[in-house]
Structure 1
């Protein structure tokens, strides 16, 4: 007699599985909102189309001890203790406002900017005697960002270097 309850439970499971799909049999109907496909923005090139010598000159780095490159960014480190660092990063299909929110969470001052007709933000802040500055520029669904960190260069505004590097990248967009 134990067989009858097992069969009843099995049939109930089959019936529930068939009813729960909500499939009317029409395979051509919509299945919800399709995922958004980000439109590709202009090509920013390796390191924002800016050479190592240009970074060294614009950022006022006396000597570059290391340069790192990968598929999405570049990093230049100046030689010496408490040395300056300059970075470039390119973000495909990533919202610039998420980056802005992250920067603001680090207690940096942010301001909306427009460079060469492109919008973005500039941020700056100081910690332990060093200054950090970012210039992030929107390219539709993409954006790029130049950052400077650790500036102690006398007479040089750290954000001026990040702004000039961002201008150079915009000038060379493809």
Structure 2
């Protein structure tokens, strides 16, 4: 009977496979490092707890043609071509140093800043024929960032609006 040898071989394979299963002995392989679970930082609110009117006023936007909001950010754009844009973004569990490295790779001037006891960075650049400013504040494992793009206001400090908006957000955090 050819059936008996096949049955014996099949049972032997099952026994050998069962013996190779994982037991309680963890010394057989490298230990896995559990993923880091980031603690939630303070709640920065929708659009950094800053209203559309405050953005218009502080950023000097005469008229806003588009406002976009989602769970992590907001965007205000003034009317007209080549017009100013203001954005807010909140990052949970994302290192601010990674954002800083990305900004530095864009050939922008980057400096460390402190606002209301919190550290972060400010970057400034004039690529694409316009000014860009990023103002990011670290919140433990989180950070938020106000950015301005396309400012041509004569005599205005390009990062002044972003700093004022960040100060409002910090003052209103929960």
Query: What TM-score range do you get, normalising by the shorter chain?
Result: 0.7 to 0.9
Report the 3-state secondary structure (helix = DSSP H, G, I; strand = E; otherwise coil) of the residue aligned with 1:98: helix
Q: Residue 156 of structure 1 corresponds to which residue in structure 2?
A: 156
Judged with a 3 Å threshold, the aligned counterparts in structure 2 of structure 1 residues 106 and 12 are, in CA distance, closer, same or farther, namely farther
TM-score normalised by the chain length of structure 2: 0.86
User: Number of residues paired by the alignment?
Assistant: 169
TM-score normalised by the chain length of structure 1: 0.86
Report the 3-state secondary structure (helix = DSSP H, G, I; strand = E; otherwise coil) of the residue aligned with 1:48: helix
CA offsets, 1:54-105, max 9 Å, x none? 0001111111000000000000000011100000000011111111111111
Q: What is the deviation of 1:11?
A: 4.9
CA offsets, 1:102-149, max 9 Å, x none? 111111111111100001111111113200000110011110000000
Higher mean C-alpha displacement, 46-55 vs 98-107: 98-107
Judged with a 3 Å threshold, the aligned counterparts in structure 2 of structure 1 residues 51 and 17 are, in CA distance, closer, same or farther, namely same
Report the 3-state secondary structure (helix = DSSP H, G, I; strand = E; otherwise coil) of the residue aligned with 1:77: strand
Q: Residue 165 of structure 2 corresponds to which residue in structure 1?
A: 165
Quick one: distance in 1 between partners of 2:167 and 2:48? Answer: 10
**RMSD of aligned alpha carbons:** 2.4
1:45 aligns with 2:45: yes
Gaps (5+ residues) in structure 2?
A: none
